[in-house]
Each structure stands twice: as structure tokens, then as C-alpha cells.
């Protein structure tokens, strides 16, 4: 297990359970998923072709054909159960230590150097209903719930739960996505030399701190709608002796001046927002960027770039994991949406970033020099050999 910033003294039994859950997820996402694919290719797709005279052409068609299959029911029910077990394996320890964690966070945040690592939580902030109305990816209490003043519990549950969930594929600080991407950006755009960077939907800062580490002279900001996560992120950054600013805001209305940032990044944010809000978000990012600035989103590849089977496979979360926007976002025409927000097609970019943890820095540097984007069934999935799909645009000068 990696080491989340605020340690929770889990018992031997709890650590065993966490390790078992990680192992189960590895089994479900690699072995069971591989077996399900074989059943599809060897039996379900040929059966569909015999009946329809063609192969399935979309994710929903594959979904409909797979739903009666025992392997699909088995995979789905085990995957849901293991998802719930991830959170259940860490919650008791966080609940036991909730007050200590809150005190520790306050102490760490209080030690922040004046003006260099601000924490901004407006008392009257209204959390969007699409966050408050359901427990996204089955995490009890979601990102935002608070049980005491200055509570950081939901941040701690996510940080520790994600450690179990990610099966060690994201490195010691669960930060491989941003770490690999920031290094990729530094190599791909040596002209950029960012002085201000913003991470939207920063959660506990896994996707924020690597930008500060890659560009230590830059002013780095993290923003999220969830107060417990923003507090936790700020204290977590201080625990690593990093000065990063955090604020609770809606990403569609950040409160920053026009033309503030050189880089605006998000990791796993878009698929958790309704499409109409994502369109507002793209316009807000366009407003926030300096001319020549870079917008970059780490996400799952869109349905337009994946096979019918992979569309079905990746959209599973929309139906069974309380991720209602997964499919609508993967169905979106992002080149068009970015153009509507002001980003010219010629300035748009798509990358596949090798994982630094899996492949090493040299592979990321080499990847940054390549123009071709080759997608396979491991892209942006927590499976052996993962690489990260990113897209975005530079704002025309
Ligand atoms: C999957 S998490 C992001 C994970 C994080 N970026 C990382 O890579 O570790 C999605 C985050 O987006 C936040 N979020 C959702 N809608 C938002 C919005 N409109 N503005 C800001 N944050 C938002 C959620 O509170 C949650 O923390």
C-alpha cells in the first residue's frame, strides 16, 4: 500500500482486508474482464451476427447482447461488491480518527507560509445538486458530506479508499496521472514555462501536487466543490512541505481574473459533470487561460475513438457504479464543444501519456516526442500496462 498523508492506524485485520480487496479488484478488472471479452468475441458477437447479419455497432448494442450472459452478471455483481468493499475497508479507521484527522489538518494548514498556500472555503458556498444527490462511485457520503466543523473525513476516506481501489498502479502518492502528464507537458511544450497552473476538481490533490513538483517556481492552485476534500488537500500538500493554494468553488465559476493561467488541467473531472456544465466549464477555461496557454483533461477515451465492445465496457460505470455522466460525456463531441468555447480545431491536442510508474520517465519523454495516438484496451483503465488518455487545446495567441 502507498502511504496516504494522514496516517490512520489500521489494525492487522483491516490491512488484510484492504489487501484482499485490492487483489479482488485486480482479478475482476484483468482476469474476469478478459474472460468476459472472450465470451463476447467467441459466442455473443457471432450469435448477434447470425441474427442481425452484422456485428454490433455500438456500446448499447453490445450491452443489450451481454446483459443475459452469466459472465456479465457475475462480473457486474462482483465488481459492484468489490467497489463497496473498497470504501468499507477504510471507513472504520477514518471514523475512529475523525477528530484527530481534523485537528492534524488544521495544524498543518495553520503552518502554511503567509500568502503562499492559501485555503479559501466560503461559508455560503452551495454545492451543486448533482454532487449532493448521489454517492458517486458508491462512496458513502460522496465528496462533500461534513459531520463536524472543519471536517476532512470524506477527503481521508477517498485518499485511503483510492489507495485500495487503485491496486498500487498510481505510485506511492496515488499521483501517477498528473505526475506523468506534467512531465509529458514539460517535454512536449518546452516553450510553455508556466508561472500559474490550475487543477480543476482537485479532490485531495493527487492531481495537483505533481504540477508544483514539476514546475516548482509556478504558483499552483487546486479547486473543488467539496470542502472536506479541499481542506484535506491543503493539509496534505503542507505535509509534503509544498505550498499550493486551494479553494472551494464550482469549476464553471472559479472567481479568477481573465487570462490568469498558463495551464489549466483536470483529471477525471469531466465524466463527473453533466454535459451542459462541461460546456460552461470549457468556456470558463478559455476565459482563464493566457494567450498560448494550455487546457488539458485526463479522461477515458470518447466513444467515437473506441470499438463497440470497449464503449460497452467503459460505459459500465454509468449504469452500475453511480456515475450517471460517464456515458453522456464519452458520447460528447469534444472537438466541436472545444471549438464552441473558443479553441480552434488547429489548436486542439490529443495525447496518450505513458504511466511514469509503469514505464519510467524515459518512456514518458519519448512519448512526448511522438505524434501518433494509438489506443488499445488498456488506455485509461486501472489494469496492467495502463497509459493515460488526455485531450485539450492551446488558446490561440
Ligand atoms: C474523480 S474526482 C477527481 C480526482 C482528482 N482530480 C484526481 O485526479 O485525483 C472528481 C472531483 O471533481 C469534483 N467536482 C465535480 N464537479 C465539480 C465542479 N463543478 N467544480 C469543481 N469540482 C467539481 C468532485 O468534488 C471531485 O472531487
From first to last of the 397 residues of the chain, give the pLDDT tens digit: 455 667 899 999 999 999 999 999 999 999 999 999 999 999 999 999 999 999 999 999 999 999 999 999 999 999 999 999 999 999 999 999 999 999 999 999 988 777 889 999 999 999 999 999 999 999 999 999 999 999 999 999 999 999 998 877 888 899 999 999 999 999 999 999 999 999 999 999 999 999 999 999 999 999 999 999 999 999 999 999 999 999 999 999 999 999 999 999 999 999 999 999 999 999 999 999 999 999 999 999 999 999 999 999 999 999 999 999 999 999 999 999 999 999 999 999 999 999 999 899 999 999 898 887 777 777 766 666 678 999 999 999 6
Residue nearest to atom 12 of ligand 1 (CA): 201
Residue nearest to atom 23 of ligand 1 (CA): 201
Rounded Cα distance, 314 and 189, in Å: 30
Distance, C-alpha 340 to centroid of its chain: 24
Residue 129 CA to ligand 1 center (angstroms) comes to 14
Sorted by sequence, the CB contacts under 8 Å of residue 139 that are 6+ apart come out as 87, 154, 157, 158, 161
CA distances from 3 to 167, 205, 212, 363 (A): 13, 14, 19, 25
The answer to whether residues 36 and 285 touch, using CB atoms and an 8 Å cutoff, is no
By the 10 Å C-beta count (0-12 exposed, 13-18 middle, 19+ buried), 276 is classed as exposed
250 lines ligand 1 (CB under 6 A): yes
Residue 201 CA to ligand 1 center (angstroms) comes to 3
Alpha helix segments (H runs only) across the chain:
12-26, 33-39, 45-52, 59-66, 70-96, 98-110, 129-132, 153-165, 176-188, 209-214, 227-239, 275-288, 308-320, 326-331, 334-341, 356-359, 361-368
Rounded Cα distance, 153 and 98, in Å: 6
Best residue among 204, 210, 226, 269 to mutate for probing ligand 1, ranked by most atoms within 8 Å of CB: 269
For the entire predicted model, the pTM comes to 0.95
CA 229 to ligand 1: nearest atom? 27
155 lines ligand 1 (CB under 6 A): no
CA 202 to ligand 1: nearest atom? 6
How are beta strands 387-394 and 289-299 bridged, if at all? antiparallel
229 lines ligand 1 (CB under 6 A): yes
251 lines ligand 1 (CB under 6 A): yes
How are beta strands 196-200 and 119-120 bridged, if at all? unpaired
269 lines ligand 1 (CB under 6 A): yes
Amino acid at each position: 500500500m502507498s502511504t496516504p498523508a494522514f496516517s490512520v492506524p489500521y489494525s492487522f485485520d483491516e490491512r488484510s482486508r484492504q489487501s484482499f480487496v485490492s487483489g479482488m479488484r485486480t482479478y475482476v478488472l484483468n482476469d474476469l474482464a478478459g474472460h468476459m471479452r472472450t465470451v463476447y468475441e467467441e459466442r455473443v458477437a457471432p450469435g448477434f451476427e447470425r441474427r442481425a447479419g452484422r456485428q454490433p455497432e455500438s456500446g448499447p448494442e453490445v450491452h443489450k447482447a451481454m446483459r443475459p450472459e452469466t459472465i456479465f452478471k457475475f462480473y457486474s455483481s462482483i465488481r459492484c461488491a468489490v467497489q463497496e468493499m473498497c470504501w468499507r475497508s477504510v471507513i472504520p479507521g477514518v471514523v475512529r480518527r475523525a477528530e484527530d484527522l481534523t485537528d492534524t489538518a488544521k495544524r498543518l494548514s495553520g503552518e502554511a507560509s503567509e500568502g503562499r498556500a492559501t485555503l479559501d472555503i466560503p461559508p455560503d458556498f452551495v454545492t451543486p445538486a448533482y454532487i449532493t444527490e448521489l454517492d458517486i462511485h458508491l462512496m458513502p457520503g460522496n465528496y462533500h458530506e461534513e459531520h463536524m466543523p472543519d471536517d476532512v473525513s470524506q477527503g481521508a476516506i477517498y485518499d485511503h479508499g483510492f489507495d485500495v481501489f487503485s491496486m498500487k498502479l498510481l505510485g506511492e502518492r496515488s499521483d501517477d496521472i498528473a505526475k506523468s502528464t506534467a512531465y509529458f507537458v514539460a517535454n512536449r511544450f518546452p516553450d510553455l514555462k508556466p508561472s500559474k497552473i490550475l487543477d480543476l476538481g482537485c479532490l485531495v490533490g493527487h492531481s495537483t501536487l505533481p504540477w508544483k513538483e514539476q514546475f516548482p517556481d509556478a504558483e499552483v492552485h487546486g479547486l473543488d466543490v467539496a470542502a472536506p476534500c479541499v481542506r484535506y488537500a491543503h493539509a496534505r500538500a503542507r505535509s509534503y512541505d509544498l505550498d499550493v493554494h486551494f479553494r472551494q468553488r464550482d469549476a464553471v465559476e472559479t472567481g479568477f481574473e481573465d487570462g490568469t493561467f498558463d495551464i489549466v488541467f483536470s483529471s477525471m473531472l469531466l465524466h463527473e459533470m453533466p454535459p451542459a456544465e462541461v460546456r460552461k466549464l470549457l468556456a470558463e477555461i478559455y476565459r482563464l487561460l493566457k494567450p498560448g496557454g494550455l487546457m488539458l483533461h485526463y479522461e477515458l477515451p470518447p466513444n467515437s475513438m473506441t470499438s463497440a465492445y470497449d464503449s460497452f465496457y467503459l460505459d459500465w460505470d454509468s449504469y452500475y457504479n453511480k456515475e450517471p455522466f460517464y456515458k453522456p460525456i464519452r458520447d460528447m463531441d469534444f472537438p466541436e464543444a472545444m471549438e464552441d468555447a473558443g479553441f480552434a480545431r488547429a489548436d486542439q491536442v490529443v495525447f496518450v501519456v505513458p504511466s511514469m510508474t509503469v514505464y519510467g520517465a524515459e518512456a514518458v519523454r519519448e512519448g512526448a516526442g511522438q505524434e501518433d495516438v494509438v489506443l488499445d484496451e488498456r488506455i485509461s483503465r486501472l489494469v496492467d500496462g495502463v497509459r493515460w488518455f488526455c485531450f485539450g487545446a492551446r488558446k490561440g495567441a
